[in-house]
Amino acid sequence: MKNKLFALPLVLTMAGCMQSKSGKEHGVRFITLDPGHFHAALVQKSMYPDTDTTVWVYAPKGKDVELHLEKINAYNRRDDNPTTWKEEVYLGDDYLEKMLSEKKGNVVVLAGNNKRKMDYIGESVHAGLNVLADKPMAINKEGFEKLKAAFKVAEEKEVLLYDIMTERYEITTILQKEFSMLNSLFGTLEKGTVDNPAVTKESVHYFYKHVSGSPLVRPVWFMDVEQEGEGIVDVTTHLVDLVQWECFPEQVINYQDDIQLLSAIRSSTDLSLREFSAVTKSEVFPDFLKKDVVQDSILQVYANGEINYRIKGVHAKVSVKWGYRAPEGTGDTHYSIMRGSRANLIIRQGAEEKYKPQLYIEPVNTADEGFESILIGQLKEMQTRYPGIAVHKTARGWWVSVPEELKEGHERHFERVTNKFLQYLQHQDMPHWEVPNMIAKYYVTTSALELAKGKD
């Protein structure tokens, strides 16, 4: 195929890489490299201040980039608050080399095939480009070592390397963290045991789902753990991040001193050819998946995993499970508990909660007559920052109700993360704990994979 640079039909005027048509300089110019996951498009579901409306896309020709551009087109054409992105697209086998030689932008957005991602990260930071990467940035120990090296290069080049941790912006998780910092209410975080961890986070996901109102078509490589990564290194990235972010806020986690892995397990989710086809729109298993096919028609995807570990002496457990399709009226779910000496903070998302995340505060000593007055007193201060939240008595404690205006969906969280990254980029003030904690996070996930596979 002849390499070519072309503009999408939606492009009416071409913005320069440094200036828009009006001549205004923009501090941020996005490059999207080899988009293969819908998260790449979600970064552009919103517009951002001081950001050029032209986005430079470099990718191999294929369905991945076509689906990505369709989503951007849909955001531009929507009736409610349409975006105004202009995609300048280069397709060719030398897309990476072309991107590095042209350097049309200064922020590389990565969300796609995770097998290639670490190399993309390394090449980008070496070229002096900032990187905003979807999770996971590393899916095995080799990738982890490359990631550590990339952070060193990023520091030398004075560029930012940051991963997209959307779950930090989910309101019940935010409130769980906030309440855990109130010693008079929560007490101190328990140390826990292997059988009864102080912190447990569980996540359930489904391959068949809707995104931006339409059925999601996943690329066939998404079902290959050598390209997407096993579940134990993929979705668990969010869970490990939340353990660190909630339990040890603004503290540096040193992976060599503060983390002790205890156990890890992995298992497969089995998909029929019919289910695989519904998710990917492919009628056959590609050759690279044949290694995972049993009985000629069942694809085994090692999407499930569990990690038990200690972090700064605290026992934690994270686990992820994947199914084919959620029962009607349900979707991805999350469970989380932080056990304190005075109260437990629990996020449940089951049938009783109508599959919406809800936060509960449950005192350890139910006979503690002073607990309610402490809760009401602390709530008043919390309401100044989160207007409209309230507590309601339950059989085991209190349910924290959250007004609709504070609830945001998963897709909106991509705007939140991107704005935070751009803030760090503008002010050069990324917190000192972010980089060591990203390294610690990927040490946990990639080492757990080795342990689960019996390689340690």
Same structural domain, 344 and 215: yes
Task: Please report the pLDDT score of residue 25 as a whole number.
Answer: 54
Mean pLDDT across 107-114: 96
| Structure confidence by residue, pLDDT tens digits, 195-218 | 999 999 999 999 998 776 778 889
Number of domains comprising the chain: 2
Checking if the pLDDT of 81 tops 90, the result is: yes
Task: Please report the pLDDT score of residue 26 as a whole number.
Answer: 65
Same structural domain, 160 and 221: no
* Nearest residue to 414 (alpha-carbon basis) of 135, 42, 145, 116: 42
Checking if the pLDDT of 40 tops 50, the result is: yes
Task: Let me know if residue 439 belongs to a domain.
Answer: no
Task: Please report the pLDDT score of residue 23 as a whole number.
Answer: 36
CATH of residue 151's domain is 3.40.50.720
Q: Is residue 263 very low, low, confident or very high in pLDDT (cuts 50, 70, 90)?
A: very high
Dist CA 423 CA 51 (whole Å): 12
Pair of tokens at residue 90? 């280069």
Mean pLDDT across 28-47: 96
The tally of CA atoms less than 13 A away on the side-chain side of residue 307 is 34
Same structural domain, 153 and 195: no
| Structure confidence by residue, pLDDT tens digits, 401-451 | 999 999 998 899 999 999 999 999 999 999 999 999 999 999 999 999 999
Checking if the pLDDT of 137 tops 60, the result is: yes
Percent above pLDDT 70 for the chain: 94
Q: Is residue 21 very low, low, confident or very high in pLDDT (cuts 50, 70, 90)?
A: very low
Task: Please report the pLDDT score of residue 216 as a whole number.
Answer: 84
Same structural domain, 12 and 133: yes
Same structural domain, 359 and 381: yes
Same structural domain, 383 and 405: yes
Same structural domain, 214 and 313: yes
Task: Please report the pLDDT score of residue 209 as a whole number.
Answer: 84
CA distances from 309 to 168, 196, 199, 243, 448 (A): 21, 12, 10, 11, 9
Mean pLDDT across 60-80: 96
Checking if the pLDDT of 84 tops 80, the result is: yes
Task: Let me know if residue 14 belongs to a domain.
Answer: yes
Task: Let me know if residue 446 belongs to a domain.
Answer: no
Pair of tokens at residue 192? 């826990």
21 versus 167: the higher-pLDDT residue is 167
Task: Let me know if residue 238 belongs to a domain.
Answer: yes
Task: Let me know if residue 426 belongs to a domain.
Answer: no
Task: Let me know if residue 393 belongs to a domain.
Answer: yes
Task: Let me know if residue 63 belongs to a domain.
Answer: yes
| Structure confidence by residue, pLDDT tens digits, 344-354 | 999 999 889 98
| Structure confidence by residue, pLDDT tens digits, 293-318 | 999 899 999 999 999 999 999 999 99
Same structural domain, 71 and 36: yes
Task: Please report the pLDDT score of residue 22 as a whole number.
Answer: 33
* Nearest residue to 222 (alpha-carbon basis) of 288, 174, 158: 288
Give the end of a domain, one of 164, 186, 219.
164
Task: Please report the pLDDT score of residue 211 as a whole number.
Answer: 73
Task: Let me know if residue 432 belongs to a domain.
Answer: no
First to last CA, the chain: 45
Same structural domain, 160 and 172: no
Mean pLDDT of the chain: 92
Checking if the pLDDT of 5 tops 60, the result is: no
| Residues in a beta bridge with 205 | 322
Same structural domain, 105 and 87: yes
CATH of residue 387's domain is 3.30.360
Helix/strand/coil (H/E/C) assignment for every residue in the chain = CCCEEEECCCCCCCCCCCECCCCCECCECEEEECCCCCHHHHCCCCCCCCECCEEEEEECCCHHHHHHHHHHHHHHHCCCCCCCCEEEEEECCCHHHHHHHHCCCCEEEECCCHHHHHHHHHHHHHCCCEEEECCCCCCCHHHHHHHHHHHHHHHHHCCCEEECCHHHHCHHHHHHHHHHCCHHHHCCECCECCCCECEEEEEEEEEECEECCEECCCCHHHHCHHHHCCHHHCCHHHHHHHHHHHHCCCCCCCHHHHEEEEEEEEEEEEEEHHHHHHHHCCCCCCHHHHHHEECCCEEEEEEEEEEEEEECCEEEEEEEEEEEECCCCCCCEEEEEEEECCEEEEEECCHHHCCCCEEEEEECCCCCCCHHHHHHHHHHHHHHHCCCCEEEECCCCEEEECCHHHCCCHHHHHHHHHHHHHHHHHHCCCCCCHHHHHHHHHHHHHHHHHHHCCCC
Q: Are 442 and 144 in contact (CB under 8 A)?
A: yes
| Structure confidence by residue, pLDDT tens digits, 315-365 | 999 999 999 998 877 778 899 999 999 999 999 998 899 889 999 999 999
Give the end of a domain, one of 118, 146, 164.
164
Give the end of a domain, one of 109, 131, 164.
164
Same structural domain, 280 and 233: yes
Dist CA 204 CA 334 (whole Å): 6
Range of the domain at 83: 4-164
Same structural domain, 184 and 144: no
Checking if the pLDDT of 20 tops 80, the result is: no
Global pTM value: 0.91
